[in-house]
Amino acid sequence: MRMPAIGITCYPSQGGSGVVASELGLHLARMGCEIHFIATHLPFRLENYHQNIFYHPVELPQYPLFQHSPYTLSLASTMHDVALRCGLDILHVHYAIPHAAGAYLARQMLPPGRVKIVTTLHGTDITLVGQEPSFFPITRFLIEQSDAVTAVSTFLRDETVRVFSCGEDIEVIPNFVDARLYTPKDDPAVRARFAQPDEKLLVHASNFRKVKNTPAVIDVFARVAAACPAKLLLIGDGPEMTTVREMVRERGLQDRVIHLGAVTGLEDLLPACDLLLLPSLHESFGLVALEAMACGVVPLATSRGGAGEFIHDGINGFLRDPDDIDGMVAAALRVLGDDALRQHMAEEARRDAAGDFGAPCVVKKYLDLYDRLLAPGPLRATFRRDG
């Protein structure tokens, strides 16, 4: 049986949706699928050559009449062109707005039944952007017009149904981690770059948006550092970084906080750490927490959203309300002050991450979905409402 040709569109950034889309494409390509990434830039995890992976840039022409470049229209035209030239079977888009809109327009320009649309919801496309009054009707429409819709957590599926009164048949396919890449590594040289032998090393990695609740990261670390020798590693960049730097300076933590910026190679940095801080206002999933767990790092994450679907409080990590600074500090000091407990929780975290959320298990769910969509006979999906 011929493996499908799949067009994947995502934001080519270090956010979770771009990471998942890139890793999905890599794994599908290794299994024999032909993968075509359609995006404004090459996703950062695809910088090297990979067999069966092709990249098609979305050009953004400038025209004096347009105040802003019409990205969705350019995306739709590129999707249409790639689908025809490369014989795509599926357009798999990550984020409803604007990527599902581009796929819908591309499908309308193609012969009927020529290509199927799979939309994967990642979080803020539903919890923030999609609930904006100006985007609400189009988000709901695009969910209904997709041939299949997936969500990265049960929380996100239920939130979609609650907010949009549609999508009851959304399939939950969680985020995943490549446990061969994200694995515990005993490399004293890496850890020595950031912390002394008697210091604990905490880490926060994100795109530093307001939803990541980064002030809480600094508040928690300041109190942990007052109780025990510790350093904080900040990975990523974004609009809240200025506030973070000001807080670090105000608390006199400049010598204890290390800003790495938006670097790659997270799989080499995480294993050197003792505790991940992810106190987001909400997380539809929280991929970095899963990656940390696979590396044997205990996560301390938000209890709002989908992180509780893979983090079991007190067993393989901790869940606390993002406003509960006292609770987060207590949990952090508890595990950092007991090496035996931290090692036990780290082993539980690694086992759980590599099991149900390992790449082979989850990628197969996507392949099964593609097979159902492309099977001969009546349209298998329940979302399409033509006419």
17-61 pLDDT, tens digit per residue, is: 888 999 999 999 999 999 999 998 888 778 777 899 999 999 887
**How far apart, in whole angstroms, are the C-alpha atoms of residue 136 and residue 265?**
37
Please determine, looking at this structure, whether the domain spanning 5-176+358-374 carries the CATH number 3.40.50.2000.
Answer: yes
Average pLDDT of the chain, as a whole number: 91
Contact 38, 374 (CB under 8 A): no
pLDDT: is 85 or 123 the higher one?
A: 85
- In three-state form (DSSP H/G/I as H, E/B as E, the rest C), the secondary structure along 29-72 is HHCCCEEEEEECCCCHHHCCCCCCEEEEECCCCCCCCCCCCCHH
pLDDT greater at residue 1 or residue 4: 4
Q: What is the mean pLDDT of residues 176-191?
A: 93
Among 40-44, 61-65, 275-279, 306-310, where is mean pLDDT lowest?
A: 61-65
User: Measured between alpha carbons, how far is 135 from 235 in angstroms, rounded to an integer?
Assistant: 31
pLDDT digits (tens, 9 = 90+) for 189-230: 999 999 999 999 999 999 999 999 999 999 999 999 999 999
CATH 3.40.50.2000 spans which residues of the chain? 5-176+358-374, 188-355
Which pLDDT value is given to residue 386? 45
- Please give the average per-residue pLDDT across 227-236, as a whole number: 97
Three-point CA angle 337, 358, 143, nearest 5°? 110
User: Structure pTM?
Assistant: 0.89
Q: How confident is the model at residue 131 (pLDDT cuts 50, 70, 90)?
A: low
Could you give the CA distance from residue 115 to residue 113 in angstroms, rounded to a whole number?
A: 6
CA pair distance 123, 303, nearest whole angstrom: 15
3-class DSSP state of 269: helix
Q: What is the mean pLDDT of residues 241-245?
A: 96
Alpha helix positions (H), 286-385: 287-294, 325-336, 339-355, 359-374
Predicted pLDDT of residue 363: 95
% of the chain with per-residue pLDDT over 90:
78
CATH topology of domain 188-355: Rossmann fold (3.40.50)
Residues 236-249, mean pLDDT to the nearest whole number? 96
- Burial of 144 from C-beta contacts in 10 A (0-12 / 13-18 / 19+): middle
